[in-house]
Homo-oligomer: A and B are copies of this chain.
């Protein structure tokens, strides 16, 4: 049977499919998760791709309608509407990839020279004889010395495995070693020529981005975005901290659940890639300070009460076995330094990954939006950072009909006059509003003049009604929803967005003030993280969450923290760089900043 090879870029995956399979399905089969809000019906244009090489089926009417002739002429198509007619190359724009897969930063991701802390050494040794009574370890040490490496350093467990492997495999083996302090710490014992992989993780409060990376090519072998299982113990880190502080057992449970999920994901990766746990020889994890502590099983009492200091903000480097990670026996976990109580190593990793935007001379802002939003201003060699409590509204929490980004969630809405056109994830009947949806709805309500600058719904505007004496906007009537109840935007929902965007904008303004510059001096405004990638920039600007700059200065870079974690997995220099970067940071504690409250209150209003 004829089969076509589909090359998916920039993720670098290849898959063969039979004729009649559309490109969206091909991508899904290849394990590349694309945004496809309407579930392949061709009505949301979120699966837009470009076909630079190869013949495909002609554009459908749906495509002509959704994309327009100009885009189609430029090679753009909807993946769900297009079938290959020969081998084709498909370029997937960043916005069509789900968060975990947005790894390329506009081609501007600094090339990281491969210099992983763990190296593979192939051994071919002479067996002992009466003329050569040296120990097995002495033989290996000679081979290491020939490569300029120090003698083996190991506990007996791994040494025993090494000895047995050598003696059973004709004195051939590959060892993974970590050069340190003039010695070579033994990490794993593998068959001659075996591949070495590493695990990089961005541990978000909600989602874990997990990457399996080939340490010798730098290629991503597998990746996944999985739910953080700690969610069942508390939606946000504050409630998880409270849970953990109710007893040692609770804390251990949170840690164990997280590690279990990571182990499961890794086991799936390994099975798919034909790799065994012993080949996973290094681990880098980044996360906010709370996730960092919960992952390590560190006490979180200090994070739960004033003055909210961490147990440790310095880099940690310790045996992966201490956490129960099922990787090579001698593998270690590297956790880069945290900046301060609420600015974690994930932000350090994001700064590292976006260095091409933030090089000295450039003035940049890097913002990572979440329940806590971390913001850094890089200007004139300085790095000013702060964290603001933006709350969980952007995760759909504390919103009347809010929900997480899941099928049936309204993620975009077009409001004009009395007409409302919602777009839901997977084109399911609407059941609620996710973070980007509520932000978009508020912006549309402002545009439609249904909302004033103080956040008050205008009485008399179309669809604005009173319920229990409070104003609300009817977004979707019960008859059109998936659950048969009205979906509304309440005054309180709007206020939650005001609090969130006000906090973020206040943080930005205070950093600019401390840096002695104006917003117009910012060359690059980098929006990192999952929510930041999905948010509608125009909406964010309309509500005043970010200062208004020429559009080309904004960059929605996806999971920069994950990119930074991978860079630290692949390069000792990047680890050093992360440490240097952290030391340079001037942290501004907003809760005690004299001018914070007035700035925050100012920024809660919407610009008219």
Contact = CB atoms under 8 A, between A and B. Distances in A.
What's the number of copies of this chain in the assembled complex?
2
Nearest to A322: B155
A453 B296 CA distance: 73
Interface string A293-324: 00011110110001111111110111100110
Contacts of A317: 153
Contacts of A156: 296-298, 312, 316, 318, 322-323
Contacts of A135: 309-314
A82 B496 CA distance: 91
Nearest to A163: B311
A167 B302 contact: yes
B298 A128 contact: no
Contacts of A477: none
B307 A128 contact: yes
* Most B C-beta atoms less than 10 A away, residue of A153, A160, A306: A160
A123 to B, nearest CB: 15
Contacts of A341: 133
Contacts of A164: 299, 301
A136 B314 contact: no
A543 B589 CA distance: 86
A483 interface: no
A138 interface: yes
A572 to B, nearest CB: 15
Nearest to A155: B318
Given A163-B299, A181-B181, A297-B160, A137 B307 contact: no
Contacts of A134: 309, 313
Given A160-B296, A163-B302, 9 more contacts: A128-B302, A134-B313, A135-B314, A136-B302, A137-B313, A138-B313, A160-B298, A167-B301, A181-B181
Nearest to A133: B309
A311 B136 contact: yes
Give 7 nearest A-B pairs by CB, closest first: A155-B318, A156-B296, A137-B312, A128-B309, A135-B313, A163-B311, A181-B181
Contacts of A322: 155-157
A319 B297 CA distance: 20
A198 B28 CA distance: 59
A130 B306 contact: yes
A306 B306 CA distance: 67
A468 interface: no
A154 B322 CA distance: 11
A292 to B, nearest CB: 9
26 contacts: A128-B302, A128-B307, A128-B309, A129-B307, A133-B309, A133-B589, A134-B309, A135-B309, A135-B311, A137-B314, A141-B314, A154-B318, A155-B318, A156-B297, A156-B322, A159-B296, A159-B298, A159-B311, A160-B311, A163-B311, A163-B312, A164-B299, A167-B301, A167-B302, A180-B181, A181-B181
Contacts of A308: 133
A151 interface: yes
Interface of A: 128-130, 133-138, 141, 151-157, 159-160, 163-164, 167, 180-181, 296-299, 301-302, 306-314, 316-319, 322-323, 340-341, 589, 592
A132 to B, nearest CB: 8
Contacts of A309: 128, 133-136
Contacts of A167: 301-302
A133 B308 CA distance: 8
A588 to B, nearest CB: 12
Nearest to A152: B314
Nearest to A180: B181
A322 B340 CA distance: 35
A194 B151 CA distance: 37
Given A130-B307, A181-B181, A302-B163, A312 B136 contact: yes
A317 B318 CA distance: 16
Contacts of A316: 155-156, 159
Nearest to A306: B130
Contacts of A128: 302, 307, 309
* Most B C-beta atoms less than 10 A away, residue of A154, A156, A159, A167: A156
A296 B299 CA distance: 33
A341 to B, nearest CB: 7
A177 to B, nearest CB: 15
A25 B298 CA distance: 52
Contacts of A299: 160, 163-164
Contacts of A155: 316, 318-319, 322
A137 B308 CA distance: 14
Contacts of A311: 135-137, 159-160, 163
A306 B132 CA distance: 12
A168 to B, nearest CB: 10
Nearest to A297: B156
A59 B319 CA distance: 65
A224 B138 CA distance: 35
